Chain A
Amino acid sequence: MKLINLIPVGTKINFLSLRKIAILASLVLCVASFGLLVTKGLNFGIDFRGGIMLEIRTAQTADLSSIRSNLGSLGLGEIELQRFGKDTDVLIRIESQPGGASGQKIAVDKVKKILGPAVDYRRTEFVGPKVSGELIEAGVTAVVLALFAMLMYIWFRFEWQFGVGAVAALGHDVFLTIGVFSLLGLEFNLSTIAAILTIAGYSINDTVVVYDRVRENLRKYKVRPLEDVLNMSLNDTLSRTLLTSITTLIALLILYFFGGEVIKDFSFAMIWGVLVGTYSSIYVATPLLAHMNLRASAVALPEDDDNETVRP
């Protein structure tokens, strides 16, 4: 049986020759992300900003301008309208109202009154200022702890250089994801945090697979230059890296197009994250190893033959 060879096998691409350009490009992108974050900021959803969000469905095509002028007359402060998937669906965001919880309830009542009974309220969300503060805290804690826990894991399983490389790649992916959310003005909310953590998991996953091979090859080819070993490891794992990325991307693209409007941003973040994560494990995580004194500590490891390694 002859299979279609989708992914090239037995490649000998010199990935590391591009490492200076790649690392420079990554640095530039990270700085750009940071710049965007500082100047443009993030479009925080109500999870982190507090406020009210309503998703409504109107009988006919929703007339955004009339809804806008209707709601504008209520004096509820800043109101954002956004078509949501279909012509009839509109997402309304209202800034946090003064007067605590009852203030929010009054605002929602006013909105429902002015929009009339013919509107289907598909979703009503309200997050109070206290809760949004806690959600920010929990989100940041989760991301930081996740990065830290993964670093510890890699450190425990490999030498420290791998930990540094993996976390650099991870930070790179997280940074660029936040950057793209800032650039495109996508809503940054709880599911974005979920996406970022999943991206972190995926990116580490990808990196670990390459690193496992680097470690194996380092023990196998003790006299080869480090650069060659790294290149070889990348080529060895290339088809797996691409295959897994492709199947994951297929699933995510389908989620993006068919999974409904509510998780569209989540899917987008994941798609971006998988692309960036695949790139970073090849061009960031592994080349960085070339700049750290990897050989010395790897050679200090117990001797073994080319077969299975004894592992803790």
Chain B
Amino acid sequence: MVQISKWKVILVLAICGLGVLLASPNLVAPEKVGSIPSWLPNKQMSLGLDLRGGAHLLIEAKVDEALKEGLQSLQQGVRSALRRSPAIGYRSLGLIRNGISVTVRDEKDREEARQRLREIGDQMVLERDENRFTLKFTEDQLRDRRSNILEQAITILRLRIDPDSVKETSIQRQGTDRILLQVPGADPERLKRLIGQTAKMSFHLVDPEISTLDPRRRVRPGTMVLKSRDEADGSGQPLYYLVKKRIEVSGENLVDSQATVEQGRPVVSFRFDPVGARRFGNTTRRNVDKPFAIVLDKEVISAPVIREPILGGSGIISGNFTTEGARDLALLLRSGALPVPLTIIEERSVGPSLGADSIAAGKTASIFGLIAVAIFMLMAYGGFGAMAIVALAINLILIAAALSLLQATLTLPGIAGIVLTIGMAVDANVLVFERIREEQRAGRTPISAVDAGYSRALTTIIDANLTTFIAALLLYMFGSGPVKGFAVTLAIGLCTSMFTALMVTRIMVVTWLRKRRPKRLPL
């Protein structure tokens, strides 16, 4: 069996050639990849955020809160529907997990109540038990609603973080209430500011009587006390405003918002849609010379006095902004309010300097590792060792090719996986060489020893590699982020090292055997 069929040799050579071709774009500087003709492979290994720097944020959306808010407004709707004249007497109107329940006082109102409830929740399930009605979403509807809320949050996040889609931002859904955000080269603090705000904006009238007050004081119905975002009094205590609860115009009616400069100070301009413009016009016309408050997430951004009616539907917010603050506020208003508050539950951000250091360290370790293992193999096996080294080099090229082709992310632990593969990849060769050596000692001729060596080592190699492969697979399934990268390179390395040891070195050994026909193998 020292004969290897021609097509096998061609196939192996083709795979190696393809590997070189696929790995070659990695030799080009990243910024020049675009200049590779499209008919050539042009994918580079994609580096993980721990190598190129960037922010990795796991975000939790309080979807349940948003759902509950929805149910509360449903409850509100039911209340007013039942109170509508002729009013229906009811009691214990409350929320249940997936809807509301209400009990009608009088049996004769049942039919009327059923109709009114039906109108409100026409897609929902309406059930009755004696006088008690439940109006609820089906599990499917609930799942859809959750999913919609999360999708909407993702859309808005994308608008905030990567409005021009230039960065390679990755925003992924994870499970039912999580979002994984990965932004290369980002300033994590700004990112967190942009994510952390719901950006619910509204315009309110200010109760003109008092503008500084004690937040704990009781206020009259229909008003609320809100903190000022930037303003403070002389002693550094934040300023509070007494604001009317009624929303004059809501941020939903905003169509555009930009950061500009007015009288040398950064400001934020905004523009309403027609509905908003009309409402804003009415409010400002009726309240000239009175202050009104621009409220963002329950904080007053600014509370200017209306000098004249604003009828054009656009205006300017001149708070206490820095240039960056104005830019971010405009961005937040432009992209809209999040349907649900977001909390960051895991962060892993790497600055560019550490990423660069890690790449450099990874390169050094790979090169030194390769050289050291090569020297050792030469010392241990001589010419056969040299063949193993060639196989090892091809192995590395194939790993790079596979990573580029699969667009798997290379992380720092991933590099560790590669270096480890350098050490372990020679194992398959060692197994074969040791076996050949042994068979030769047992008195076989070189050709028969090589033959027996390969066929006998095969099962051992497969057994040994499969067990490590199991470990890699589980690491991939349960690991997160960088650890996944380690599992990927480890698994790829196992496959390529088996290929190179069993096919590539074998062709080299057999070719050498046939040319030289040695009496004894130098092992």
| Chain A residues packing against B (C-beta within 8 Å) | 1, 3-4, 6-7, 9-10, 55, 57, 100-102, 104-105, 108-109, 112, 120-128, 130-131, 135, 138-139, 141-142, 145-146, 149-150, 153-154, 157, 190-191, 193-194, 197-198, 200-202, 204-206, 208-209, 212-213, 216, 236-237, 239-240, 243-244, 246-252, 254-255, 258-260, 262-263, 266-267, 270, 308, 311
Q: Which residue of A3, A10, A267, A270 is within 8 Å of B379 (Cβ)? A: A3
Judge whether B115 is part of the interface by a CB distance below 8 angstroms: no
Top 8 closest pairs, chain A to chain B, by CB: A251-B423, A260-B361, A201-B471, A201-B468, A142-B478, A248-B423, A122-B354, A128-B345
Q: Does B212 contact A (CB under 8 A)?
A: no
| Residue B438 interfacial (CB < 8 Å) | yes
Q: Which of A6, A138, A212, A259 contacts B480 (CB 8 A)?
A: A138
Given A126-B347, A311-B459: A205 touches B364 (CB 8 Å cut-off): no
- Known A-B contacts: A3-B379, A6-B380, A247-B373. Give 7 more (CB < 8 A): A4-B379, A6-B376, A153-B467, A201-B470, A204-B467, A204-B468, A259-B362
19 A-B residue pairs with CB within 8 Å: A3-B381, A102-B196, A102-B343, A120-B351, A123-B351, A126-B344, A128-B345, A138-B478, A150-B471, A194-B487, A197-B474, A237-B434, A240-B431, A247-B373, A247-B430, A252-B420, A255-B365, A258-B368, A259-B365
Determine if A198 and B490 form an interchain contact, defined as CB atoms under 8 angstroms apart.
yes
Known: A6-B380, A123-B349. A252 touches B441 (CB 8 A): no
**Would you call B412 an interface residue if the criterion is a C-beta within 8 Å of the partner chain's C-beta atoms?**
yes
Q: B residues within 8 A CB of A135? A: 480
Q: How far is the CA of A131 from the CA of B431 in the complex (A)?
A: 43
Contacts of B467 in A (CB 8 A): 150, 153-154, 201, 204-205, 208
Instruction: Check A205–B346 contact: CB distance below 8 A.
Output: no
Residues of B within 8 A of A246 (CB): 376
Known interface pairs A3-B522, A55-B354, A247-B376; A255-B196 also in contact (CB < 8 Å):
no
Is B192 touching A105 in the complex (CB atoms < 8 A)? Answer: yes
Chain A nearest Cβ from B52, distance in angstroms:
13
Q: How far is it, in angstroms, between the C-alpha of A81 and the C-alpha of B217 when the chains are bound? A: 45
Contact A197–B369 (Cβ < 8 Å): no
Q: Are A266 and B413 in contact (CB under 8 A)?
A: yes
Residues in B with CB closer than 8 Å to A197 are 471, 474-475
If A55-B354, A131-B58, A138-B478 touch, whether A146 touches B470 (CB-CB below 8 Å) is: yes
Residues of chain B with a CB closer than 8 A to A9's CB: 437, 441
Q: Indicate if B427 sits at the interface (CB-CB under 8 A).
A: yes
Point out the residues of chain B lying under 8 angstroms from A191, CB to CB.
413, 482-483, 486
Given contacts A3-B381, A190-B479, A198-B471, contact A258 B361 (CB under 8 A): yes
Residues of chain A contacted by B376 (CB below 8 angstroms)? 6, 246-247, 250
Tell me whether chain A's interface is mostly helix, strand or loop, or mixed.
helix
Known A-B contacts A149-B470, A198-B471, A254-B368; the reply to A259 vs B361 at CB < 8 A is: yes
Q: Is A239's CB under 8 angstroms from B434's CB?
A: yes
Q: Find chain B residues with CB under 8 A from A10 CB.
A: 441
Chain B nearest Cβ from A90, distance in angstroms: 13
Q: Is the CB of A101 within 8 A of B349?
A: no
Query: What is the minimal beta-carbon distance from B209 to any residue of chain A, in angstroms?
Result: 33
Report the nearest B residue to A308, measured CB to CB. B455
- Assembled-state Cα–Cα distance A201/B475 (Å): 11
Q: Does B422 make an interface contact (CB < 8 A)?
A: yes
Given the complex, which residues of B lie within 8 Å of A100, measured CB to CB? 343
Which residues on the B side are within 8 Å of A209 (C-beta)?
431, 460, 463-464
Task: Write the B33-64 contact mask toward A (1 if CB under 8 angstroms, else 0).
Answer: 00000000000000000100000001010000
Q: Interface on B for A, CB 8 Å cutoff?
A: 50, 58, 60, 188-189, 192, 196, 343-351, 353-354, 357-358, 361-362, 364-365, 368-369, 372-373, 376-377, 379-383, 412-413, 415-416, 419-420, 422-424, 426-427, 430-431, 434, 437-438, 441, 455-456, 459-460, 463-472, 474-475, 477-480, 482-483, 486-487, 490, 522-523
Closest chain A residue to B490, Cβ basis: A198
User: Given the complex, which residues of B lie within 8 Å of A120, measured CB to CB?
Assistant: 351, 353
A101 surroundings in chain B (CB, below 8 A):
196, 343-345
| Known contacts A102-B196, A266-B413: A146-B350 contact under CB 8 Å | no
- B residues within 8 A CB of A244? 424, 426-427, 430
The answer on a CB contact under 8 Å between B412 and A262 is yes
Asked if A255 and B416 sit within 8 Å, CB to CB, the answer is: yes
Given A3-B380, A258-B364: A243 and B434 within 8 A (CB)?
yes
Q: A212, B463: Cβ atoms under 8 Å?
A: yes
| Chain A contacts for B343, CB-based, 8 A | 100-102
Are the CB atoms of B472 and A201 closer together than 8 Å? Answer: yes
A141 to B350, CA, bound (A): 28
A311 to B462 Cα, complex, angstroms: 13
> Are A250 and B372 in contact (CB-based, < 8 A)?
yes
Cα distance A135–B365 when bound, in Å?
A: 29
